[in-house]
Chain A
Amino acid sequence: MTLASISIISAALVLFGVFYLILVNLNYNLNILSQQPKMQVYCLSELTDEQVNAVKTEIDSNKYIDSITVVSKKDAFEQLKKYLDNDKTAEGGANILEGYDDSFLNVSFIIKVKNPEDSGVVATELRSLAGVENVVYSQQTIDMITQVANWVRIISMVLIGVLLFISLLIISNTIKLTVFARRKEINIMKYIGATDWFIRWPFIYEGIFIGIIGAVMAFLMVAYLYSFIEPKLSNNLVSFGSGFSIVKFQSVWGTLALFYAGVSIVIGASGSVMSIRKHLKV
């Protein structure tokens, strides 16, 4: 019975941990995305300066656009160098660019659209301009991820709520067995003047103990699972591009552990209090 309680609270917390980590990662990537420019227009790399200027004038005349910033080939090269140096030192960092100059890169314009909802229209219009290679904007992705995150949040809350409720009942039942085995002792304690709290504490400790053991097991499982998945996923994300990445476990385990401790203590203690109430009425 004790084993059953430990497993069920452990299962509930593992599930919570999984959903929590998914949410953390979704939010993390949302953040990355929303820090990126609203929209970036890449010109064909073979365009001359005059042609680039012509494109810029065209874009300027678009009534949906708020502001426009030019990213020259030189700027783009510097950014790339910096990015490689910071994030890809393992693969050789900025040295990988040795022998290259900025000629293979495109001039691009970073555009701020007045109204994010118009992004779609603007993007189609700009794509049709002569000399434009590609238009990239992140709003679509942001919207999609936000929606996914919302669903994950709702589903996980319901599931976790149900599981925690079941854990509460099972812990309460386990303690009920101990209380039943010791009901004579409780009765004697009541007659010789023990306060209810004096009688309750040992049972509450037992409930908390069950909760914490369950939480420790859940934490180890989640940690193992994440350390197993993280490297695989982060490789996949790199090939997926556009700056997606996965949160390192080191940066989330503190919050997770704190939550696990809090929930297991509260569930364990309240399960015990529930189960002993009846026997205190003497």
Chain B
Amino acid sequence: MKVVEFIDVSKKYPNGTVALKGINLKINKGDFAFIVGSSGSGKSTLLKLLMKEETATEGEVMVNGYQLSTLEPKQIPYLRREMGVVFQDFRLLPNKTVYENVAFAMEITECLPKEIRRQVPMSLALVGLSRKANAYPHQLSGGEQQRVAIARSLVNNPALLIADEPTGNLDPENSWEIIRFLTEVNQRGTTVIIATHEKTIVDAMKKRVIAIDKGRITRDQQKGLYGDEDTEYKIYS
């Protein structure tokens, strides 16, 4: 079952920049995929299209049954509830505790308080932060903050988890821990897409690698490596 599908997708920004050209991509339920590429390659645009922060100028993006080209603005919040998003800069609310940050993601979906009280501790336990539930983000290390962000992204049981440079602000030790949690999440059945620069992590994981350069997919490889300029890219599809 496809969770994400790009069909001949191109994106041209109003200022004339062509960020993506003729992208075709399928990501199935339960996949774990790295999206790699240098800055300006079109990686971020691809993620923005998934979240409907931007709309494709050509082609169609499908996310968990939503047809994004015709999705009305009113429907966007409901699309975003189908996915959990983790950012490089964590994006936690500074004036809320760890518990409240995670609960907040449920409150906005108008969940019953009873359900929130049950689900939030489970989510925090999953990332090993039950004991820090009452701490504020600034009292936590970067790695811990990112774990809170993962707990928040998972609390609504999304079909898809998107992580945009999730280890970008972390030291190697914490980075590995985050990757370990994301792998665990994937093993529980959630589709995980990670956009990253971290060669070591991609190479060590030997998962699917989708390489983007100058707006095109240059390589799509199962059990791939990060690759570099010297490597001959072979197209996998």
What's the nearest-Cβ distance from chain A to residue B79, in Å?
Answer: 8
A187 to chain B: which residues have CB within 8 Å? 91
B152 to chain A: which residues have CB within 8 Å? 192
Contact at A193–B53, with CB atoms within 8 Å?
A: no
What's the nearest-Cβ distance from chain B to residue A39, in Å?
Answer: 68
Interface residues of B in 89-136 (CB under 8 A from A): 91-93, 104-105, 108-109
Check: B40 CB closer than 8 A to any chain A CB: no
What's the nearest-Cβ distance from chain A to residue B172, in Å?
Answer: 27
Contact at B53–A198, with CB atoms within 8 Å?
A: no
B78 to chain A: which residues have CB within 8 Å? 193
A195 to chain B: which residues have CB within 8 Å? 74, 77, 108
B87 to chain A: which residues have CB within 8 Å? 191
A191 to chain B: which residues have CB within 8 Å? 51, 80, 85, 87, 91
Would you give the 0/1 interface string for A52-71, flagging 1 where the beta carbon is closer than 8 Å to chain B? 00000000000000000000
Contact at A193–B81, with CB atoms within 8 Å?
A: yes
Contact at B93–A193, with CB atoms within 8 Å?
A: no
Contact at B91–A188, with CB atoms within 8 Å?
A: yes
B53 to chain A: which residues have CB within 8 Å? 282
Contact at B108–A198, with CB atoms within 8 Å?
A: yes
Contact at B91–A193, with CB atoms within 8 Å?
A: no
Would you give the 0/1 interface string for A189-204, flagging 1 where the beta carbon is closer than 8 Å to chain B? 1111111101000000
Contact at A185–B109, with CB atoms within 8 Å?
A: no
Chain B interface size band reads: 20 to 34
Contact at B93–A188, with CB atoms within 8 Å?
A: yes
User: Which residue of B is nearest A198, CB measured?
Assistant: B108
A192 to chain B: which residues have CB within 8 Å? 80-81, 85, 104-105, 108, 152-153
Greatest chain B CB density within 10 A among A184, A188, A189 is at A188
Contact at B93–A185, with CB atoms within 8 Å?
A: yes
B109 to chain A: which residues have CB within 8 Å? 193
* Number of A-B residue pairs at CB separation under 8 A: 39
Other-chain residue from A184, A185, A188, A194 in contact with B77 (beta carbon distance below 8 A) = A194
What's the nearest-Cβ distance from chain A to residue B201, in Å?
Answer: 24
A282 to chain B: which residues have CB within 8 Å? 53
User: Which residue of B is nearest A192, CB measured?
Assistant: B105
| A196→B74 CA distance, assembly (Å) | 8
What's the nearest-Cβ distance from chain B to residue A154, in Å?
Answer: 43
Would you give the 0/1 interface string for A161-192, flagging 1 where the beta carbon is closer than 8 Å to chain B? 00000000000000000000000110111111
Interface residues of B in 68-83 (CB under 8 A from A): 74, 77-81
B74 to chain A: which residues have CB within 8 Å? 195
A194 to chain B: which residues have CB within 8 Å? 77, 108
What's the nearest-Cβ distance from chain A to residue B81, in Å?
Answer: 4
Interface residues of B in 149-199 (CB under 8 A from A): 152-153, 156
| A192→B87 CA distance, assembly (Å) | 11
Greatest chain B CB density within 10 A among A184, A185, A195 is at A195
| A184→B95 CA distance, assembly (Å) | 12
B93 to chain A: which residues have CB within 8 Å? 185, 188
B105 to chain A: which residues have CB within 8 Å? 192-193
| A163→B85 CA distance, assembly (Å) | 46
User: Which residue of B is nearest A282, CB measured?
Assistant: B53
| A53→B96 CA distance, assembly (Å) | 95
What's the nearest-Cβ distance from chain A to residue B145, in Å?
Answer: 13
| A36→B104 CA distance, assembly (Å) | 69
Interface residues of B in 204-229 (CB under 8 A from A): none
What's the nearest-Cβ distance from chain B to residue A273, in Å?
Answer: 16
What's the nearest-Cβ distance from chain A to residue B232, in Å?
Answer: 38
| A190→B105 CA distance, assembly (Å) | 10
| A260→B41 CA distance, assembly (Å) | 57
What's the nearest-Cβ distance from chain B to residue A272, in Å?
Answer: 19
What's the nearest-Cβ distance from chain A to residue B109, in Å?
Answer: 7
User: Which residue of A is nearest B51, CB measured?
Assistant: A191
Interface residues of B in 48-81 (CB under 8 A from A): 51, 53, 74, 77-81
| A198→B109 CA distance, assembly (Å) | 9
B interface vs A, CB < 8 Å?
51, 53, 74, 77-81, 85, 87, 91-93, 104-105, 108-109, 152-153, 156
Q: List 25 A-B contacts (CB under 8 A).
A: A184-B91, A187-B91, A188-B91, A188-B92, A190-B80, A191-B80, A191-B87, A192-B81, A192-B104, A192-B105, A192-B152, A192-B153, A193-B77, A193-B78, A193-B79, A193-B80, A193-B81, A193-B105, A194-B77, A194-B108, A195-B74, A195-B77, A195-B108, A198-B108, A282-B53
Across the A-B interface, give the 8 residue pairs with the lowest CB-CB distance, nearest first. Answer: A193-B80, A193-B81, A194-B108, A195-B77, A193-B77, A192-B105, A188-B91, A191-B85
A interface vs B, CB < 8 Å?
184-185, 187-196, 198, 282
12 extra A-B contacts, CB within 8 A, seeds A187-B91, A193-B78, A193-B105: A184-B91, A190-B77, A191-B80, A191-B85, A192-B108, A193-B77, A193-B79, A193-B156, A194-B77, A195-B74, A195-B77, A196-B77
